[in-house]
Structure 1
Amino acid sequence: MGKIALVGLGLVGRAWAISLARAGHEIALWDERPEAIGETLSFANKVLPELDAQGLLDGEAALSVRGRLRRAGSLEEALEGAAHVQESTPEDVEAKRAIFARLDRAAEAEAVLASSTSAILPSLFTEALEGRARCLVAHPINPPYLVAAVEIVPSRWTDAGVVQRTTALFRAAGHAPITMTREIDGFVVNRLQGALLEEAFRLVAEGFATTEDVDVALREGLALRWSFMGPFETIDLNAPGGVRDYAQRYQRTYAQIFSSTQWRADWSGPMMDRIEAERRARLPAEQLGERAAWRDRRLMALAAHKRRAAEEIGE
């Protein structure tokens, strides 16, 4: 397996470290804050045994995976010999331009330069680079060691071979690449999530349902199917004649709904006061961290279940 350099070790960068080391890559860790490397290693020491207990290390010992995580004393040391560079610095376009200029100067000539950004179009921070053809976005759905999807987003000048190499790298690492043909605001995942959130806010703003009602609709309804198949496969199986039959049966219903979705609920002010009050009544603020840890344990169990189900039932 080739060497990968991780540049930026916040929540996303340290999660990439787990995922890519598990896939067999030697990982060089670097951050402007030297203490972030130690925090990443401590995080790995905690998470890897938990993944091992769920059978999510592909039969390898946690210590073996942990041994592929290496400190880099400088950015240049981290980049030396790396075939892929995954940048996960803060979401600021000027900061992205600055770090990508450094990466383009110092990385190996054939190295792919990928950003984990969830919202910034790759064209906005790579246009001026001499090596812009090797730059793109590889955006994970956090945490990537539990959620397989990763968005591969090229700019209009990204070389097609770079897109193919990046897609192949993540697929080989156990990920499920969403390989886009061109960039658009929000990419794929946040555009889908955004559409759902907009409707969730509208339903609560108009008093049709509480925040918990909306959560139940997803948690105990749509998400059960969506955890192992997407919306197009869902509707293909929800009408006797498949997807065309479904569209013919239900297009009018969705067309009638559409006109009532053409406005935005305010995500602030009194509306947010109400939503926050409902959420804090169910989960006090001091328990947010504990509940996030619970979420990750549930995600581990779900990931383990999906692996077993795929083997026993089929994809």
Structure 2
Amino acid sequence: MSTVACIGAGTVGRAWAVVFARAGHNVRLYDAIEGEVTRTAIPGARRTLELLSENGLLTEDVETVVARISAAASIAEAVTGVVLVQESVREDVDVKREVFAEIAAHAPADAILASSTSAIPGSDFLGHFAHPERALVVHPVNPPSLIPLVELCGTHWTAPETLSEAWGIMTDAGMRPILLKKEIDGFILNRLQFTLVAEALHLVGEGYCTPEDIDAVLTDGLALRWASIGPFEVAHLNAPDGFQGFVDRLGPMMKRLGAAAQTDYDWTPEQVAAAHAELAERIPIASIADRAAWRDRQILALRQLKQKQ
């Protein structure tokens, strides 16, 4: 049985531990905060595995999978003899450089070194140690234990074999990888997500609608299609002659609306506070954990439906 190291035991790191343990790997989980793994991360992983089991997405007993996750006392201990290291520390270039220098010093020379960074290009911190050809970004959607998409993005040092091996490991672990052909800030998912959120802030900030309206447009509109097919296929199916016909007819409108969108909208603190107040009235701060648990159950229910399809 192969071993994987997860460095950083926060929300993303512990979710990765679930992904790899569920796939049959032994997982060594390390966090710089002493006791964090045993006190918080492993119990959190157990709760996630119980949720997966309740929804028919776990083929083994919960405790069997949990037993594959262990706490490591140091990065060196965590990465010794592993096939993959998945880093999930905070979004700080200097911190990541320091962590990867230590990882590279102790991990096997043929181990894949992967970062969960959400927006920082890998070239900013994955080229200052020996054999950078084994390193890449493996960016998940939070939490990866529930959402399978993962973005693989190499640097100009990354070897094609590294990308291929990472693709295989992720696929075998039940993930759905995509491969970026070149680096870009924020990768693909966050660029799409943050562009939409920025225009939503513009629409709310200028008084066109409320935050609740925006959420309804997504959940009861766009998302009902996007849960099964993406925007390119939506366009392809929305015209009798396919994507070319869609663009031929609606291309000028698309360009006009795109030019009018304000993805760099300069929202004010007052506008953010107003949106927060509306959301907090609908979902009180004290209820966020319960609402997040409901969200997770909805994600799994949708995944079950998609699997049946």
* TM-score of the two chains, using structure 1 as the length reference: 0.94
Whether 2:92 is the aligned partner of 1:92: answer yes
- What is the alpha-carbon distance in structure 2 between the residues aligned to residue 75 and residue 94 of structure 1? 17
Higher alpha-carbon deviation: 174-183 or 258-267:
258-267
- What is the alpha-carbon distance in structure 2 between the residues aligned to residue 265 and residue 194 of structure 1? 12
Q: Identity over the aligned pairs, expressed in percent?
A: 41
How far did 1:273 drift? Answer: 1.9
- What is the alpha-carbon distance in structure 2 between the residues aligned to residue 263 and residue 77 of structure 1? 45
Change (3 A) 1:268 1:35: farther
How far did 1:259 drift? Answer: 2.5
Where does structure 2 lack aligned partners over 5 or more consecutive residues? none
- What is the alpha-carbon distance in structure 1 between the residues aligned to residue 259 and residue 44 of structure 2? 47
Q: Deviations over 1:46-104 (max 9, x none)?
A: 221221110011x2221221121122233222112101000111111100000000011
* TM-score of the two chains, using structure 2 as the length reference: 0.96
Equivalent residue for 1:303?
A: 303
How far did 1:262 drift? Answer: 4.5
- What is the alpha-carbon distance in structure 2 between the residues aligned to residue 263 and residue 230 of structure 1? 21
State how many pairs are aligned.
308
Equivalent residue for 2:245?
A: 245
How far did 1:181 drift? Answer: 1.3
- What is the alpha-carbon distance in structure 1 between the residues aligned to residue 201 and residue 89 of structure 2? 30
Give the letter for the 2:101 counterpart.
A
Equivalent residue for 1:69?
A: 69
- What is the alpha-carbon distance in structure 2 between the residues aligned to residue 220 and residue 50 of structure 1? 26
How far did 1:127 drift? Answer: 2.4
- What is the alpha-carbon distance in structure 1 between the residues aligned to residue 111 and residue 160 of structure 2? 14
Q: Deviations over 1:85-135 (max 9, x none)?
A: 001111111000000000111100100100111011111112221221111
Give SS of 1:126's match. Answer: coil
Equivalent residue for 2:198?
A: 198
How far did 1:174 drift? Answer: 1.0
Equivalent residue for 1:129?
A: 129
Equivalent residue for 2:186?
A: 186
Equivalent residue for 1:165?
A: 165
How far did 1:169 drift? Answer: 0.9
Is contact 2:198-2:262 (8 Å) kept? Answer: no
Whether 2:32 is the aligned partner of 1:37: answer no
- What is the alpha-carbon distance in structure 1 between the residues aligned to residue 282 and residue 262 of structure 2? 30
- What is the alpha-carbon distance in structure 2 between the residues aligned to residue 3 and residue 268 of structure 1? 48
Give SS of 1:212's match. Answer: helix
- What is the alpha-carbon distance in structure 2 between the residues aligned to residue 268 and residue 109 of structure 1? 49
Equivalent residue for 2:230?
A: 230
- State the Cα RMSD in Å: 1.4
Give SS of 1:300's match. Answer: helix
Equivalent residue for 1:312?
A: none
How far did 1:263 drift? Answer: 5.9
Give SS of 2:83's match. Answer: strand
Equivalent residue for 1:52?
A: 53
Give SS of 2:186's match. Answer: coil
- What is the alpha-carbon distance in structure 2 between the residues aligned to residue 171 and residue 267 of structure 1? 40
How far did 1:272 drift? Answer: 0.7
Is contact 2:20-2:173 (8 Å) kept? Answer: yes
Runs of 4+ in 1 over 6 A off after TM superposition: none
Where does structure 1 lack aligned partners over 5 or more consecutive residues? 310-315
- What is the alpha-carbon distance in structure 1 between the residues aligned to residue 135 and residue 294 of structure 2? 36
How far did 1:267 drift? Answer: 3.7
Q: Deviations over 1:145-196 (max 9, x none)?
A: 1111001111111111111111111011111112111111010001111221
Give SS of 2:271's match. Answer: helix
Q: Deviations over 1:243-275 (max 9, x none)?
A: 111111211111221231256323441211221
Higher alpha-carbon deviation: 164-173 or 42-51:
42-51
Equivalent residue for 2:111?
A: 111
- What is the alpha-carbon distance in structure 2 between the residues aligned to residue 6 and residue 237 of structure 1? 42
Whether 2:72 is the aligned partner of 1:80: answer no
1:209-288 paired onto structure 2 within 5 Å = 209-262=209-262, 264-288=264-288
- What is the alpha-carbon distance in structure 2 between the residues aligned to residue 300 and residue 258 of structure 1? 34
- What is the alpha-carbon distance in structure 1 between the residues aligned to residue 241 and residue 174 of structure 2? 33
- What is the alpha-carbon distance in structure 2 between the residues aligned to residue 263 and residue 60 of structure 1? 45
Whether 2:13 is the aligned partner of 1:28: answer no
How far did 1:305 drift? Answer: 2.0
Is contact 2:151-2:178 (8 Å) kept? Answer: yes
- What is the alpha-carbon distance in structure 2 between the residues aligned to residue 48 and residue 68 of structure 1? 12
